A and B are shown apart, each in its own frame.
Chain A
Amino acid sequence: MPWFAALAALFLFWILLRILDRICRFGGSLNAISGVLIAEVWRRKLLPVSGILLLAGILVLPWILGVDLADASERRTLLQYGQGWIGFVLLVVTMVMCCSTLSEEKSSGRLGFLSLRPGLPIWWLPGKWLGSLGSNLVLLIPASLLLLTQIQNPGSDWGNPATVLPISAQQFSVTEEDVDLFLLLKVEESPLEWGQLSEADAKIRARSYLHRQARSIPLGSSAYLDFKVGDDVREESTSEEALVLSIRPAMGRAHRSQIARILISGEDFETELLVTNGQRSELKIPQRMLLDGGVALEVAFLGAVDEEVRIPSLYWIDEEAVQLLVPMGTLGGSLLRSQLLLLARCAFVAALSLAVSTFLGFPVATLLVFCFLIAATGGGFVGAFEEEGPQTMVDPRQEASSRQVIDLLAQGGERIVRSLGEWEESSTAEQVSAGQFVSWNQVWRGGSILAGLWAGFALIVGTILLSRQEHSTGDQQ
């Protein structure tokens, strides 16, 4: 059966390529250039070889991983590795395809020769970019379908399971209004301590205090957790499926084997739960708790199970430490949206590769884009600039005019890096394999920033560079 599915996927791959080839035969310069790229990667065997590799990899993945497909958690492992394999092959193919095509055309003089045709410099890069997107789509569709069939093997009743949407507690987000209100109270309460601070310093301290307060529950006390569930989520979530509270508490310096008791209660619901330090625990919440605005719960910290151990407080390290999992959508849908985000990432790499190869040769251009991929996948962009947090110190020299230009540049750079951080955030493969819902909003955001904003920027820069260059129609230069 898997062999049959793989052959069917290969056939689909070929059919899609034929369709794409047909589409490229119509229209003007843009389509013509796209068609040439597709013919190039097909006839130079890059596309067939990578297609066969991609499908063969997915086919043998269960055997390599040694997973038992009857087990749901192992199927998730296969899903995760499968998506990783598809992403890897697609990104590498995109990079090689886009870096080689333009640099070879430049060095052979073909670009100079073809740029003698009217209107071409404008369409050259976008045409190649669309061609690479088409090639990616031809690889992505059969590979994703094959992966789905691998997971939904007929021996299991897994079908197309529901996914969940994780919602963080409202208390974790500290707004400007919260800070202002807190400051107002504090200044009135202890004017000597808070009233002496400058406004900026006071706000930083207040925010820091509120952050700590929102995330910890001292021994013997309780905290409220409000989960706001949007209308669209309430409409889509199926009433048969229960809500799940997923928590991962931290217990300070206590050993990670320590177990604590917490009491979770709602309107007509109360249950005690044993939680382990740093481990995730799940608790089913009745569907009736989902009211108009969302779900409201109270969490009380009752102390360690071992009476000899004293744990002063329990706290949540990040927003993901406490989440309400609301059933929403299906795995198939989430996988589809996740693959669209992968396509957006490929679109960005394609544009970047094309722009870089307008002024660099194939090996150097590939190396440069490869370095970019390493930085991006390693989370380099996300971690490069930490958000302005409570510890941020105000530099007194900041007011100096000589610093202002540098600061302005630094802020601009920070914005760019933050925006590029979308690269990391648009990687939803883990979300899908964890059974989480991938929303259209994520696709829209990732697609517009990576495939729209950044790819567009790279293509415009590349086109300008290309139009400013001198060309030749041979190797005489």
Chain B
Amino acid sequence: MSESVIEVEGLWKIFRDFWLRPRVRALKGIDLTVRQGEIFGLLGPNGSGKSTTIQILLGLQFPSRGKVSVLGKAPGSTDCKRRIGYLPEDSVFYPFLTGREMLHLCARLSQVENRCREERVEQLLEMVGLKAAADREIGDYSKGMQRRIGVAQALIHDPDLIILDEPTNGLDPIGVRQVKDWIQSLKERGKTILITSHLLADVEEVCDRVSILYGGKVQDEGAVKEILEFDDRAQWITSKPEAEDQKEIDQFLEGKGVEVYSVDSSRMSLEDKFLEAVEAARNEGEETEGAEYGGRLPEFLGGDESTG
């Protein structure tokens, strides 16, 4: 079994008012384990305690009760901070700084050495497709562009654990696809990733394991394949049979006592159709003022370079 990166045991968080009376019980004794190298999804409706859990894991809020360990250390310790990359749900970047300045600032605050700072910033700008917009103020960026700069800042110091709060929120389908590809690539490079999202299809696609929160408690937890699998159903994807052949197949299945719930024509997903259309326009030389196609993950991520 892989080493645990995040371990949460009996975690409670009670927000109190000025007179220390309990105001909100956000977490009611949750247990959570995230292993090294996996993509873990934290799901739940609004107010279920996802954000509070993340804030506690980051050391921004203090637990009322319970044990929390991140990368083997107490949350909020300097060692911990050096090894965590975080993409917040809201855009909290300085609106008056340019994208390039913001990345430089994050690199300096993360104590990235000067000799590799410039290179990393340029590589990440290339990756998120903001090279052309790098000298524009973040306040002028669209929401999707702000998410992209957010992804770049989370990776600037080559973290071991990456926490992404609604990573695809506000992104166009190209951006969503890219983020999902980056997440997979990061996993391949040995990074551990914790994701929260309301877009369940995205979570289903990228996550190895998920935990579903409701009312401050873990309602279900496990590997995505295991918890979504029907024990009594199966699915084949085949070439389209002739109408007569299909009747024969139905009869054969009925004879075997297999119940057929639905038979559909296989369709392309809207995401794939969208990507195809944009790719075609790009190949025809259409120009854009917004974010461009990003690239692959830069080499420094997952490499041995020190963060200073």
Interface residues on A, range: 20 to 34
CB distance from A102 to the nearest CB of B (A): 13
Pick the contact of A474: B78, B89, B105, B108 (CB < 8 A): B89
Among residues of B, the one whose C-beta sits closest to the C-beta of A475 is B90
By a CB distance below 8 angstroms, the chain A residues around B94 are 36, 39-40, 110
Question: Does the CB pair A108–B111 fall under 8 Å?
Answer: no
The reply on A473 being an interface residue by CB < 8 A is yes
Q: Please tell me if the beta carbons of A39 and B93 are within 8 angstroms of each other in the complex.
A: no
Q: How far is the CA of A120 from the CA of B110 in the complex (A)?
A: 9
Alpha-carbon gap, A117 to B89, bound state (A): 17
Q: Closest chain B residue to A40 by CB distance?
A: B96
Contact indicator B51/A474 (Cβ below 8 Å): yes
Q: How far is the CB of A41 from chain B (nearest CB, A)?
A: 10
With contact pairs A28-B111, A43-B137, A471-B61 given, residues A118 and B92 touching in the complex (Cβ less than 8 Å):
no
Contact A117–B106 (Cβ < 8 Å): yes
On chain A, the residues within 8 Å of B84 by CB distance are 116
Q: Shortest Cβ distance from B65 into chain A, in angstroms?
A: 15
> Within the assembled complex, what's the spacing in Å between the Cα atoms of A240 and B286?
82
Q: Is B109 an interface residue (CB 8 A)?
A: yes
Give bound CA distance, A328 to B145, whole Å.
63
Q: Which range holds the interface residue count of chain B?
A: 20 to 34
Indicate if the CB atoms of A32 and B88 lie closer than 8 Å.
no
Given A116-B58, A117-B109, A118-B111, does the pair A473, B96 have CB atoms closer than 8 Å?
no
B12 CB–A CB distance under 8 Å: no
A116 touching B105, Cβ below 8 Å: no
**Distance, CA A310 to CA B58, complexed state (A):** 84
The answer to whether A470 touches B60 (Cβ under 8 A) is yes
A110-B55 contact given A118-B82, A120-B109, A470-B62, CB 8 Å threshold:
no
Could you tell me if A470 and B89 are in contact, using CB atoms closer than 8 angstroms? no
Measured in the bound complex, the distance between the Cα atoms of B101 and A474 in whole Å is 21
Q: How far is the CB of A433 from chain B (nearest CB, A)?
A: 39
A112 on the interface (CB 8 Å rule)?
A: yes
Whole-angstrom CA separation of A475 from B106 in the bound complex: 21
Chain B min CB distance to A98 (Å): 17
B190: min CB distance to chain A, Å: 21
List A contacts of B97 (CB < 8 A).
Answer: 36, 39
Besides the known contacts A36-B94, A116-B84, A117-B110, 10 further A-B residue pairs in the complex with CB atoms under 8 A apart: A28-B108, A29-B111, A36-B97, A43-B137, A108-B92, A110-B92, A116-B58, A471-B55, A471-B60, A473-B58
The 6 closest A-B pairs by CB, nearest first: A117-B109, A474-B90, A43-B96, A473-B88, A32-B108, A118-B81
Residues of chain B touching chain A, judged by Cβ–Cβ distance below 8 Å, are: 15, 51, 55, 58-62, 78, 81-82, 84, 86, 88-90, 92-94, 96-97, 101, 105-106, 108-111, 137, 165
